[in-house]
Amino acid sequence: MTIHSVLIANRGEIAVRIIRAAKALGLRTVQVHSQADAGSLAVKLADEAIDIGPAAAKKSYLDIEAVLAAAKAAKVDAVHPGYGFLSENADFAEAVAAAGMKFVGPDAAAIRLLGDKVAARQVAARAGVPTVPGSDGRVSDLAQAAAIVSRIGFPVMIKAAAGGGGRGIRIAHSLEEFERHFPQASAEAAAAFGDGGLYIEKVIEKARHIEVQILGDGTNFVHCYERECSLQRRRQKVWEEAPAVGLPADVRKRLCDSAVALARSVGYSGAGTVEYLYDDASRDFYFIEVNTRIQVEHPVTEMITGLDLVQEMLRIAGGQPLSVGQDDIAIAGHAIECRINAEDPHRGFMPGPGTVETLAVPEGEGIRFDTMLFAGYAVPPFYDSLLGKLIVHGADRAACLAKLRAALAGLGISGIPTTVPLHKALAADADVAAGRFHTRFLENWLETKFAAPPSGTREVA
């Protein structure tokens, strides 16, 4: 490989994950951290650690100059951005490359192209990937927009071209509602993203969220099959699976092939994810967006394929061709990931940072817990609430669910609230077991099925 060292421009569980992958490849690891993260597991595990600023992400993990200065000082060959923070920031990727280092991910041009939701939709359409009925590009005025919605029908989503991650989305059920939302959405997008551009998509009711993992080295492109992430709360994924539940084989083939066609059309390099909505009733799938980075839920793909996606990313950045061809990648069994957040599911998911008193981690074949926790660790309040991911692999989905229930029973985190009780309830739910869900399932389920704990007691999970 042409790289011998890597700087991790991230924190939390993904920083730990990247350090482990880099060490397995014999790379020197340099961890940047905010002052609030000086005692983090990633800092302890890395060969070197560099303080890049105060707790606020804007002044540390999102400060391009501070991260670059650390990378130059540490004389690293590559920078891995993880997910979130600067991972899909084209200016950052460009600055890393301009400083003579490898950005672990696609180049700035690809990030810019695929990061613009409107441009990405056009790329997908050109590659033959079905897109959700809607505007062909940005819509600038209300009259043009009204003509489009009368053609595609209600309900429609008004989305910010510069948005993503579920932000900057409004739904209109009628023309009257649409005409009221459209100017507000434009003003909000301009304020939030510095770009008031909007586009319109038809709402696919009871859709499932299915996404395809892709890998490319600029010449060769493969998919690593799909993940299902339909269990979401406020458009944030809560529980993910691979493969998708009950997806017909011919649909799977068309879906995965379309993701590879998209990757090939842009000469993709690195790991990426093509996200789709899937309509169970019609068996149609529609492109949503491309994420040009590693995703939180990548481990379920690793569990069913045996690949190490983070090592693969580092090898690609080091100039090596893909270690696998499409024929080498097969689905073995089923995997489920539960996102364990520092939130109290019985109190409206109120975040609860604080000190972890005890930590018990389930172990066994097919059980994995990706985390930055250790007993005594003080979870800071300044970043997102993800504490770790419990990932379980079984011979089939039923075996996987049974193993998950046992693994959740063996996961003990005391001192702070966690979403473990939520996952225990989901793992015991008949609809979940039957795979009867869609992207709006969880919010309704939380209101109707998720019981409050008995009064006077509080579950310590």
Which residues are catalytic, by number?
Answer: 293
| Residues with Cβ within 8 Å of residue 202, at least 6 apart in sequence | 132, 133, 134, 152, 153, 155, 156, 157
Closer by beta carbon to another protein, 333 or else 352 = 352
CB–CB of 313/294 below 8 Å? yes
Cβ neighbours around 448 below 10 Å, total: 7
**Binding residues for another protein (CB under 8 A):** 36, 54-56, 191, 342-343, 350-351, 353, 381-385
Closer by beta carbon to another protein, 384 or else 429 = 384
Pull the structure tokens for residue 395: 């011979």
Shortest distance, position 58 Cβ to another protein, whole Å: 8
Mapped onto helix, strand or coil, the DSSP state of residue 361 is coil
Shortest distance, position 194 Cβ to another protein, whole Å: 11
| Residues with Cβ within 8 Å of residue 132, at least 6 apart in sequence | 201, 202, 204, 277, 286, 287, 288
Closer by beta carbon to another protein, 150 or else 355 = 355
Residue 146 host element (H or E): helix 142-152
- The residue length of the chain stands at 461
Closer by beta carbon to another protein, 191 or else 430 = 191
Label residues 247-266 b or e (16+ Cβ within 10 Å = b): beeebbeebbebbbbbbeeb
HSE, side-chain direction, 13 A CA sphere, residue 279: 15
Shortest distance, position 385 Cβ to another protein, whole Å: 4
Shortest distance, position 88 Cβ to another protein, whole Å: 17
| Residues with Cβ within 8 Å of residue 436, at least 6 apart in sequence | none
Closer by beta carbon to another protein, 60 or else 135 = 60
Bridge partners (DSSP) of residue 351 are 343
Shortest distance, position 422 Cβ to another protein, whole Å: 16
Closer by beta carbon to another protein, 54 or else 133 = 54
Report the candidate in 358, 370, 362 with the shortest Cα–Cα distance to residue 409: 362
Shortest distance, position 417 Cβ to another protein, whole Å: 11
